[in-house]
Amino acid sequence: MPSISPCGLCFYTGDKFPGWKGSLFTGALSNYALFRIELDGERYRSEERLLVDRLPYIRDVRQGPDGLIYLVTHSDDGGLFRLEPA
């Protein structure tokens, strides 16, 4: 199966996105997307691709102390993005 070339990994424990609590997030150097991976305990359940083709490659994903999700992208001028609830 082709690899997404994961880059950066974050286990979400915040309260800003209640439906995402306990999910893993990773960027992908082979895809222009943020991957949200749902777990069932310690096992993979499913994945959701977010921000498809909206940003350059996502190099790192982190949860901030404010409970929001921050992304660093790979581009000549760099990029730092913050995900907020709609």
| pTM for the predicted model, two decimal places | 0.89
Confidence of residue 78 (pLDDT cuts 50, 70, 90): confident
Bridge-partner residues for 13, per DSSP? none
Q: How far apart are the first and last CA of the chain?
A: 34
Q: What is the pLDDT of residues 20-42, one digit of tens each?
A: 999 999 998 888 999 999 999 88
Backbone torsions φ then ψ of 70, nearest 5 degrees: -115, 140
